[in-house]
Chain A
Amino acid sequence: MSTPARPHRSIFEPPAIGQMSLATKIVLYSVLIGWSLFVLFPVYWLLITSFKEATAVNEGPFFIPWVDFQPSLHAWKELFVIDYADTLRAYFNSIIISLAATALSVLVGSMAAYALSRVEYAPNLITILFFVALLALVAVSVGVWGIDWRLAAAVGVALFFFLARAVGNLYQVRLQNGDILFWIISQRILAPIVVVVPIYMMFQSVRMLDTHLAIILTYTVVNMPIVVWLMYDFFNSIPRDLEESAQLDGATMIGIFREIVLPLSRAGLAATTLLVMILSWNEYLLALFLSTSRAQTMPILVAAMNAGERGILWWTMSVAIIVMIIPVVVLAVILQKYISKGLLVGAVKG
């Protein structure tokens, strides 16, 4: 693309197709088409594999249905007629969990982001450190000394409420909104593997392993930093005059948020929702820890197809992967026009 500019073309626009030299055109299009093939071919192979009989898979590569091999629906039947209970349960689990987790994290996250972009906070670092120390003490007393967790938590909370002000007055180091924002966003650096073992033990001790609620809560927290990060920049980019005049009219913060701010940030919300939805829909490691059978999600079901005694049944596996893709495609098509607009705001301002 290093062709020199022609002197008389309209310089305000990138070179349109007619203004490129033939060589540039050929290179550009062959790169784009080549990459499209690289992207689409695996998907095509997945699609035809789902219609193949075992012999059509095992006896070497066949590419074109009706010519190379006879397509059949047996894999689809196996998953949706014979094993329908397992498949549908995992499917509905996935739908419920990712919908609920997305809704929760977008709600909680955008509330926090809005508050951080409009209200000034000045928490005292010393109080926070005191709180963390108490938290560590509670963790040690429960884990190492074997004290009942309800008792430890109650004593911890009581201590905090009685001593917080006294400790805070000893020395004051005020944090700012930027610090809180950074703290929330930095949670994203945490690899799930670091926190998942204690989360597993926590849910085990309240007998909530293998329930929807446990996975929903975990996903909400894991994805909230993204929501806060994207929505904070979005809220900052919204003009504030409307809110200020509404405030003069006596509207409450919650009313302004619901009736003015949220409708204005539809693009940002759509892009964030799509991103968080994809992430929770595809999440694997946390679900692997937190679900065994009742709350099993689709990624776990698909991954477990590896373990059958007949080896990998590529055809049913392909069907499962395809039905996992469908909802994401539908969602992406619905939200399509917002995606790049909404995502960019976060990236540009970082």
Chain B
Amino acid sequence: MSRNSALNEWLDKNMGRIFLAPAVTLILIFSIFPLIASLILAFARVRFTGGGFKVRFAGWRNFDKQLFGSEQFHLLGTFTEISVPGWLFGLLATGGLVWWMVRYVRSRFTWFGFIGRLITFAMALGLSWMFAATLLSGNPFGTVGTTLFYVIVGCGIQFVIGTALAFACSQTIRGSTYFRVIFFVPMMITPIGVGYIFRMMADTTKGPFANVWQWVGLGEFAWAADPWAARVFIIVADSWQWIPFVFIMMLAAFESVPRDLGEAAEIDGASRWQSFWEITWPHVLPIAATVMLIRAIEAFKIVDLPNIMTSGGPGIATESVSLQAYYAWRALDLGQASAIAYILLFITVVICVSFFNLVVLARVRNQR
């Protein structure tokens, strides 16, 4: 009896820890430990021997090969001479970034903020020059460029269309409920399925739009063999699937705008246009930033659509960084796979944390 009550007392005292412990333990085992192990693998060469594997320390060799060596064309792109527009864009970006840093240092300065912004600065600078040297100089870019293309262009399209549809549906119109249900449908379809469905849609000889393709004169056009057409098709499929997510979040956001604010504005004689930009939009914007942050985090992981729709082809034109790491793993090159994955992790974390600090949090700070 006394033992039992002692146990109960201990339980009562530590209940807070017991509630948190399972989550923390699971994350430590399946997330933090693999993260550390992955970092070790990224600096190692792994060789499979009968039944097991041997890990040998390899220093920076994996990263060196990816960033500067024989795999550079694959990850970053082919670099030759930078063209005039490339120089223009690169210098413009450099100038803008330097101005941004100088402005920060002059206005307020903390070491923590400075180092964080320095990392953001370096990443933005590197990526701008990467685009200047590849895309703007007529060279193919690598998986990092492709992934960023999916994230930036894809999320941009999804944001604009999703928000527009949400705004339209937030008006009191007949049939609005039906539209909401219909617009939600693509989110329920598995991404693998979406990939195959859009392969059927895009078929220029047997697909539903074959006659349209013939009529336009693209009957023989093999979109999967053209880098930009293939990328655009993947973006279309990705957007088809994810616009519902943006739509449903933004719809909830539009409906949470307090009515009395709009009332007051209209009594003061504001037009609908004005009241939208001055009341609805500022209210919705912080939610929009959060929604797009979530969307971008997921978009960086894109792997199933390129794998299903094009297997990364033609060449490496539609390959995402995740897919490249998967192919490296499939070739049993665990060291390279981990190094690629870590580069992706680094880019994702820097971009997402920068976005969070500079866009989402900045709004919160300004409101105070």
Cβ A253 vs Cβ B16 within 8 A: yes
Cβ B23 vs Cβ A109 within 8 A: yes
How big is the B interface, by class? Answer: 35 or more
For residue B297, CB closer than 8 A to chain A, the reply is: yes
For residue A306, CB closer than 8 A to chain B, the reply is: yes
Interface string of A319-350 (1 = CB under 8 A from B): 00100110011001000000111011001101
Q: Please name all residues of chain A whose beta carbon is closer than 8 Å to the beta carbon of B191 when the two chains form the complex.
A: 282, 284, 299
Interface string of A1-40 (1 = CB under 8 A from B): 1111100000111111100000000001101100110111
With A198-B33, A221-B27, A340-B248 known as contacts, the answer to whether A324 contacts B273 (CB < 8 A) is no
Instruction: Give the Cβ gap from B160 to chain A, nearest Cβ, in Å.
Output: 13
**Residue ID in chain B nearest A3 by CB atoms:** B272
Cβ B26 vs Cβ A217 within 8 A: yes
Interface string of A219-233 (1 = CB under 8 A from B): 011001000100000
For residue A189, CB closer than 8 A to chain B, the reply is: yes
Q: Which of A11, A12, A109, A191 meets B344, CB within 8 Å?
A: A191
**Residue ID in chain B nearest A346 by CB atoms:** B290
For residue B76, CB closer than 8 A to chain A, the reply is: no
Q: Please name all residues of chain B whose beta carbon is closer than 8 Å to the beta carbon of A240 when the two chains form the complex.
A: none
Q: Please name all residues of chain A whose beta carbon is closer than 8 Å to the beta carbon of B249 when the two chains form the complex.
A: 343-344, 347
For residue A303, CB closer than 8 A to chain B, the reply is: yes
**Residue ID in chain B nearest A111 by CB atoms:** B19
Q: Which of B165, B199, B290, B348 meets A347, CB within 8 Å?
A: B290
Q: Is the interface of B mostly helix, strand, loop or mixed?
A: helix
Cβ A5 vs Cβ B271 within 8 A: yes
Instruction: Give the Cβ gap from A303 to chain B, nearest Cβ, in Å.
Output: 5
Cβ B348 vs Cβ A36 within 8 A: no
How big is the A interface, by class? Answer: 35 or more
Cβ A40 vs Cβ B185 within 8 A: yes
Cβ A36 vs Cβ B183 within 8 A: yes
For residue B135, CB closer than 8 A to chain A, the reply is: no
Cβ A284 vs Cβ B168 within 8 A: no
Cβ A194 vs Cβ B344 within 8 A: yes
Q: Please name all residues of chain A whose beta carbon is closer than 8 Å to the beta carbon of B209 when the two chains form the complex.
A: 61
For residue A65, CB closer than 8 A to chain B, the reply is: no
Using CB atoms and an 8 Å cutoff, list the residues of chain A in contact with chain B. Answer: 1-5, 11-17, 28-29, 31-32, 35-36, 38-43, 45-46, 49, 57-61, 63, 108-109, 111-112, 114-116, 118-119, 121, 132, 135-136, 139-140, 143-144, 180, 184, 187-199, 201-202, 217-218, 220-221, 224, 228, 252-254, 257, 278, 281-282, 284-285, 288-289, 298-299, 302-303, 306, 312, 314, 317, 321, 324-325, 328-329, 332, 339-341, 343-344, 347-348, 350
Q: Show 11 A/B contacts (Cβ-Cβ < 8 Å), sorted by A.
A: A4-B271, A13-B172, A14-B170, A41-B208, A46-B197, A57-B206, A61-B206, A224-B27, A252-B11, A299-B191, A325-B193
